Amino acid sequence: MKVIIQRVKEASVSVETKIIGKIKQGMLILVGFKENDDLENVKKMALKISLLRIFADANNKMNLNIKEFKGQLLSVSQFTLYADTEKGNRPSFVNSLEKEQANILFLAFNQELENILRLKIETGSFGANMEVSLINDGPVTIILEN
């Protein structure tokens, strides 16, 4: 499982020009799954993200997690995080988890985050062609993989 976290001032995701998820300050999380990922990966990643201290405290140090900061979350599935570009010029996605299983894990991941943080998680639409807009804050971009 791989996630790219961007600390944002705001972010939204649209499908066919209709906004389906939108947040103010918080985290935009791009989420990808590979073969052999399971619910254990999901639980570990959700816990790691919930505790990740990437928001500024009163001394302007990255010392607050998403809950302490009172931020919002937007989670977007992105199978292209496991693109293999070793050979040729066209990415291969053979390492990405098949769609049905990835969707199950994506839903479980978002539910786990909601359970841990007691926050509603905004999401994109799994498998849809989405447009993601954001204002990156910092910029702060963190890549996590397990």
Catalytic residues: 80
Per-residue burial over 33-42, b if 16 or more Cβ lie within 10 Å, else e, is bbeebeeebb
- How far, in Å, CA of 64 to CA of 126, rounded? 30
| Torsion angles phi and psi, residue 119, rounded to 5 | -125, 150
- Residue 122's Cβ-side half-sphere holds a number of Cα atoms within 13 Å equal to 20
| Torsion angles phi and psi, residue 49, rounded to 5 | -65, -40
In angstroms, how far is CA 47 from the centroid of its own chain?
A: 13
